Amino acid sequence: MAADRKKWILEAASKSFALFGYKATTMEQVAKIAGVGKGTIYTFFSTKEELFDAIMMDVIQEMKRIADKVIQEERTFIKKLERVLEEFYRFRSNHELLIRLSHEISEMGTAKAQEGMKSLEGAILGFLEKNVRTAMEQGEIRPCDPQVAAFVILKMYVSFVHDWDRTHGPLTKEQISEFFHVYLFEGLAVR
């Protein structure tokens, strides 16, 4: 049945991309893992790229479900923000495919892998932007451009967990929370 085959192909491809990365995954191999003929893959996906895109979309949907759940569990914007960022980071750090893609990007700079991770970042930014807008409309934060705010928030977070980590060692949740409080919420200006 066609619906089954598509599902097998998606599962097989997800496994192969996670194990071997984008570039080293062959369609022959995906077909073998899925237990179908290679040509069958092309009845559902025109190209290897389209297959990869479909899998990235699934990953992004999954990540969003987790983030939505976290949002329901917290009350204040700042708490929601911290939890969501933490969850995004954990998701990205534990997800086999995403780990593999990051590795492939730094080792080989594969364009498609970069594109995949960029779409993930775009989804995170979109999610943050939506929540900034809500918080702003509810008067929880001051008026601002939600898109820019989301950008600043994410870049700051990523800088702490990646760049600072590399030069000074890892930060605790409490330290990151404190930094967000001082530099993003209260600001540097003297009152």
Partner DNA sequence: AAATTGACTAATTGAACAAATTGGTCATTC
Partner DNA sequence: GAATGACCAATTTGTTCAATTAGTCAATTT
| Cα 56–Cα 59–Cα 61 angle in degrees, nearest 5 | 110
Distance CA(122)–CA(179), nearest Å, equals 24
The span from the first CA to the last CA of the chain, in angstroms, equals 68
Which run of H or of E encompasses 59?
Answer: helix 48-73
Q: Does 46 sit near DNA (CB under 7 A)?
A: yes
Q: How far is the CB of 36 from DNA (least distance, A)?
A: 4
- Residue 116 CB, nearest approach to DNA (Å): 15
One residue of 155, 165, 170, 173 binding its own copies per CB under 8 A:
155
| Contact between residue 44 and residue 6 where contact means Cβ atoms under 8 Å apart | yes
Q: Under a CB-based contact definition with an 8 Å cutoff, are residues 136 and 146 in contact?
A: yes
Residue 179 interacting with its own copies (CB under 8 A): yes
User: 62: closest CA among 106, 98, 31?
Assistant: 98
Q: Tell me the closest approach of the beta carbon of residue 48 to DNA, in angstroms.
A: 4
Q: Which residue among 15, 38, 79, 133 contacts DNA (CB under 7 A)?
A: 38
Interaction partner, residue 2 (DNA, its own copies, none; CB < 5-8 Å by kind): DNA
Binds DNA (CB under 7 A): choice among 10, 36, 67, 98: 36
Is there binding between residue 25 and DNA (CB under 7 A)?
A: yes
Decide: is 65 part of the binding site for its own copies (CB under 8 A).
no
CB of 22 to DNA, least distance (A): 9
